[in-house]
A and B are shown apart, each in its own frame.
Chain A
Amino acid sequence: MAGFARLLIIAFVLLTVLYFALYFHLRANRRDRLLAEYESMGAEAQETKVSQELVAYESRLRRGLILGVYILPFVAMVATIYFTNFH
């Protein structure tokens, strides 16, 4: 089981790096899009609107990323184990 533990630890570290990289990148993209969309408003109103929408986006993003970055590879691993060993 040492091999399994090793795999879990290494995978967790790598996936966490990927998670944060994707999180900040996608959030920045969303922010740019929002800023462009609310270009016409004044500076202050734009800031408040953008930060409001960003907060709403963050929870969706977090959920999606946990699903895609952590759960998906784990499910893929389990499926591989099943189809390789118990076909």
Chain B
Amino acid sequence: MAYVKWGFWGTFWLLVFAVFHYTLPQNDIVRIVNTYEERQELNDWTRMFWSSPDAQSAELTNRDVQFIQGVKPDGEAMVYRNEDTGWGWPFYFKFDTANLYTEANDAISTKDAPEWVAVRHYGWRNEFLSIFPNAVRIRVVEGPDVSFIPWMNIIILTIFAAIFWSIRVRWVRFRRARIDPVIEDVGDSLADAGDSIAESRGRLRGWIDRMRGK
């Protein structure tokens, strides 16, 4: 039974971690190589990894999506999509997709004269599912070795931990004060019931034995 409990909570926290890892912003240093726009067919379950079009019908299964192609300092390719998040989840309120596209095109550079940019993005890149992280901001940086302290992530995670902890403390207190005594009472009355059943059984058996002439 303990395995079920641990399994449940483990899955829950894994899900929470996955949601945070997907939604919170990360920074990548890349050299932008090109941009393109491609029509996407969004008619299967991976639809959740793409933005939902605000002003268009929710039933629209294909639309044009902009992409930004970059190369990381180690030579590995990294492709971002460029979509509005609009007023919905995740709450980046990104509306300036076209502006970002222009900035990305402005930052295109070659291998000989690289211009390194920091791309703030959220989401996962998965080649098998063909999903791309959504670029939120592009900023020119001096070189490929710049590092960032994720202040926003730290603040958000601290606030979440504080809220979770405060709720948990109050829940434990409540349980100790209200629920545990009730469960003890229930346990006591169940034990009493068991005792009286055993007693009745004992008496019944005695009567049967007497009838059988023991």
Residues of A within 8 A of B (CB): 2-4, 6-7, 77, 80-81, 84-87
Q: A3-B54, A85-B94 are in contact. List 10 more A-B contacts (CB 8 A).
A: A3-B88, A4-B87, A7-B88, A80-B91, A80-B93, A84-B95, A84-B96, A84-B136, A84-B137, A86-B96
* B65 CB to nearest A CB, Å: 18
- Whether A85 pairs with B95 at a CB distance below 8 angstroms is yes
Size category of the B interface is: 10 to 19
* B52 CB to nearest A CB, Å: 9
Encode B126-148 as 1/0 by CB contact (under 8 A) with A: 00000000001100000000000
Tell me if B114 is interfacial: C-beta within 8 Å of chain A.
Answer: no
Encode B86-108 as 1/0 by CB contact (under 8 A) with A: 11100111111001000000000
* B24 CB to nearest A CB, Å: 13
Residues of B within 8 A of A (CB): 54-55, 86-88, 91-96, 99, 136-137
**CB nearest to A76 among chain B residues:** B91
* A42 CB to nearest B CB, Å: 27
Main secondary structure of the interface of A (DSSP, over half): helix
* A25 CB to nearest B CB, Å: 8
- Whether A84 pairs with B93 at a CB distance below 8 angstroms is yes
- Whether B93 pairs with A6 at a CB distance below 8 angstroms is no
User: Given contacts A3-B54, A3-B86, A84-B136, is CB(A77)–CB(B91) below 8 Å?
Assistant: yes
Pairs across A and B, CB under 8 Å, 9 listed: A77-B93, A80-B91, A80-B92, A80-B93, A81-B93, A84-B93, A85-B95, A85-B99, A87-B137
- Whether A84 pairs with B86 at a CB distance below 8 angstroms is no
The 5 A-B residue pairs whose C-beta atoms are closest, nearest first, are A3-B87, A7-B87, A85-B96, A81-B93, A3-B54
* A23 CB to nearest B CB, Å: 15
- Whether A85 pairs with B87 at a CB distance below 8 angstroms is no
* B60 CB to nearest A CB, Å: 15
Query: Which residues from A are CB-within-8-Å of B87?
Result: 3-4, 6-7
Q: How far apart sit A77 and B88, CA to CA, in the bound complex (Å)?
A: 12
* B160 CB to nearest A CB, Å: 14
* A24 CB to nearest B CB, Å: 13
**CB nearest to A73 among chain B residues:** B91
